Amino acid sequence: MITVYEAKSKKEITAFIKFPFTLYKNNKYWVPPLIADELASFDKTKNPVFKNAEAYFYVAKIDNIIVGRIAAIINWQEVNHQHKKKVRFGWFDAIDNSDVTEALLEKVYELGRKNNLDHVEGPMGFSNLDKVGLLTKGYDQMGTMITWYNHPYYVTHFEKLGFTIEKQFIESVFPFSNVKPEHFMKATELIKKRYHLRSLTFKKTKEVMPYVDKMFDLFNESYAKLSSFVAISEIQKEYFKKKYINFINPEYIKFVVDKDHQLIAFSIVMPSFSEALQKANGKLFPFGFWHLLQARKHSKDVVFYLIGIAPEYQNKGVTALIFEEYYKTFSEKGIQTCIRTPELLENNAIHLLWKNFDPVIHCERKTYLKEL
């Protein structure tokens, strides 16, 4: 018999977080999260996303053994401001038993119906800076710290339960050796002069901080037209600033400003922490922090996390300035592989940025939808 209960206490939430450690034990492609980081993300007193969202965490058991989990989420900004009557689900994992999946999803349906919402979509997190999408291709590829991994049977479960594909995402990879500077070097000086632009690079995190709020404003502006976008609030800006900026190598953050010193483009790249997180196995101590620090300093793989360009500067070659600076940095550090995080299949503008680097799509993701 399947029983489903809401995880509320710290002990229950910790069990919710730890379930995938059992489900994917010995899977060489799964990248475990940091347990403490997940706990903080789910803490309604610490994560400001709960100012505009609510979430409930459910665990399924058979014979008192955990066999699945799911988070039921409502982003009220999305519902009230974008008028999308959607209940989200995320952090979904289950054994290969569609009855377990159905029992967990029933809790999501209940939340949606209770609040007069008309459809459910997932997997996705609270906002656009969270993980998104069910892996549908690339089960033999190493994940990243900002993507979910799942077994192939998840797709079968959702299809059996009447879900349809809503959004599609692709991830791609290319060797740094594919980057030929002649593709952007010639254009860089011309673009700088024509639009009176200049690049900003950093060596210390404290140099980045004065620009971070402007970066989030530009993030909101440059992604606003995407169908799935929910803006980052002021309080979330402060949270993400404290949580992430200190963690990112300052030399991997690139900005472009105009003649009035206004930010018009940004990009954030991170070293790959995948292998370090596998070694840490969810724990910072005693050795997890050391593995992450070593990856931060020495990883030869980088992950392109975010890139944003002000709408009035899109399609004007501004990315040439960003690529020029990354080419210098990556050459100095001996970077070998460049990895792109999930990008909407419909976002043609972002895909065109990489065309000269001959990227290979190695993973695909989808979110699934069902009417309530």
DSSP three-state, residue 329 = helix
DSSP three-state, residue 27 = coil
Instruction: Give the pLDDT score at 3.
Output: 98
Tokens of 209: 């901080």
How do residues 22-34 score in pLDDT, each as one tens digit? Answer: 999 999 999 999 9
Q: Tell me the C-alpha distance between 87 and 96, whole Å.
A: 24
| Mean predicted confidence (pLDDT) in 96-115 | 98
- CA-based nearest residue to 4, from 119, 129, 73, 92: 92
Residue 89 near residue 108 (C-beta atoms within 8 A):
yes
> How far is CA 93 from each of CA 86, 101, 145, 306, rounded to the nearest angstrom?
21, 8, 17, 27
Q: Tell me the C-alpha distance between 326 and 168, whole Å.
A: 28
Residue 44 near residue 239 (C-beta atoms within 8 A):
no
Average the pLDDT over each of 185-194, 227-236, 259-268 and give the range with the smallest value.
227-236
Tokens of 347: 């976002």
| Mean predicted confidence (pLDDT) in 173-177 | 96
Q: Considering the chain, what is the average pLDDT of its residues? A: 94
Instruction: Give the pLDDT score at 273.
Output: 96
The model's pTM is: 0.94
Degrees to nearest 5, angle at CA 11 with 110 and 92 = 40
The pLDDT of residue 227 is above 80: no
Kindly provide the b/e burial profile for residues 198-228, where b requires at least 16 CB atoms within 10 angstroms of the residue's own CB: ebbebeeeeebeebbeebbbbbbebbeeeeb
Grade residue 352 by pLDDT with cuts at 50, 70 and 90: confident
Q: Tell me the C-alpha distance between 348 and 369, whole Å.
A: 23
